Structure 1
Amino acid sequence: MTSPPTSDPSATEGKLANSKDALPRHVAIIMDGNNRWARARGLSGVRGHHAGVEAVRATIRRAAERGVETLTLFAFSSENWKRPRAEISALMELFLLALKREVTKLHANGIRLSVIGDLSAFSESIRKHIARAEAKTRDNTRLHLVIAANYGGHWDLARAARRLGERVAAGELDPSLIDEAAFADELSLADVPSVDLCIRTSGEQRISNFVLWELAYAELHFTPCLWPDFDAEAFDLALDDFQRRQRRFGMTDEQIEAQQGA
């Protein structure tokens, strides 16, 4: 079942999120700027993606150290297939290499790995390594790392609607029972809290079809830092920014103040 915050984030998260010292339970990051980082150094775009892997490692380490519950990284969107064929091929090789090399480290550090998105477009080898990685790390509880690969928010919403429609057609579900919670239960992130903080690097200020439903009440943090330069300090700055925000979830300032004093 979906956790309550998905359909009503104020129900269980409001008090915590508005506490001055509160940290986000779920951080989602749009990792952007690998190609620009490489071009600025006269390197190929592929070199930029390789450099971005170290930023991924640093971010995972810092998220675990700070006690973040779920970290979702936008690694490859459904629109990224439009990129040059050589770059896509290199990205697939890098993805497979990371699955082979990094999973043992994640497991040793108590990190659970999940991959969301339309995996049917990936090679059989990649799909097998994803399944093995998810099975190996399933019981880890220190941090839940979610990688969004061949993922798009529109795809996720359409798939959820189709699944509900199939259940209705099969006589398993009364249409009158379809509400926000029922819909959220069919989404890729049904088993994690809603996103509290979404970070986008490289100076772009858009969410680019990323976990659209889960971003409904998220705080947005945009940084000019290109992804390969994103490190523990940059992550901490984003958390500091989050802690300065007042999250209302539709409530008034007076209600928030009363809630904090309770």
Structure 2
Amino acid sequence: MADDVPGLVPLGPAGPERAARDVVAALGLRERAVPGRPRVVAAMIASLDGRTAVEGRSVALGHPADRQLLRELRTAADAVLVGTRTLAAERYANLLDEDQVALRRAARRAPHPVMATVSRALDLPLDVPLFAEAGVPIQVYTEHDGAPPPSPGADLAVERFDELTLPAVLEHLGSARGAQVVLCEGGPSLLRELVAQGGLDDLLLTVAPLLAAGDAPSVLEGAELDAPARLALAGVHRAGDHVVLHLRASR
């Protein structure tokens, strides 16, 4: 091997098993503030060939430890940002377990994170169970100037922009909803816009040991970025044959 070519470092398995709650706590999301907006961490899952869904949903890619990690990230977040198509496809409901709600209350935080979604035409999937859950705050961002639809049960609020951008969404979540940490759960088009507009700080990407092929979206979906976003590897965790990569945006 040439002297100027770095070698390959084996990553494990090494070290003791860690609970998802401990992994999230170690991220230090609240200790790494971002000027002018909340800190944003995205959580995504993909097959080895980069597909984020099988038969339209991500559930076939998952692992119990990965699902628990997502729920603990929701517990830590002040707001969850997710696209309406992802809300509809994944049939969002019951975001947190009772012990996670209790943990938030003990920390003197709201029992549920604000659910934030972007719908420029104000076309919401109101049949999704989340919208019928009493007490769940849902914040919708839109460019549509019509009347908001009636909510089946959740606390629905609408914020309108003449030109909707994700930096404006994040600024509103911070200033109006008090969010210090925002969890983005995609989908791929929303995450692509978040990356393109400089809003991503951390990415937790679970790689599932599957080859899916097909035409399901990749982790980012949309036009090629003007310049690829560079991330730095901050940690690696393993759950069976699934691997969770923690990456931080390079500034």
**Shared fold (TM-score greater than 0.5)?**
no
**TM-score class normalised by the smaller sequence:** 0.3 to 0.5
Report the structure, 1 or 2, having the larger strand content. 2
Which structure has more RCO (C-alpha within 8 Å, separation ≥ 6)?
1
Report the structure, 1 or 2, having the larger helix content. 1
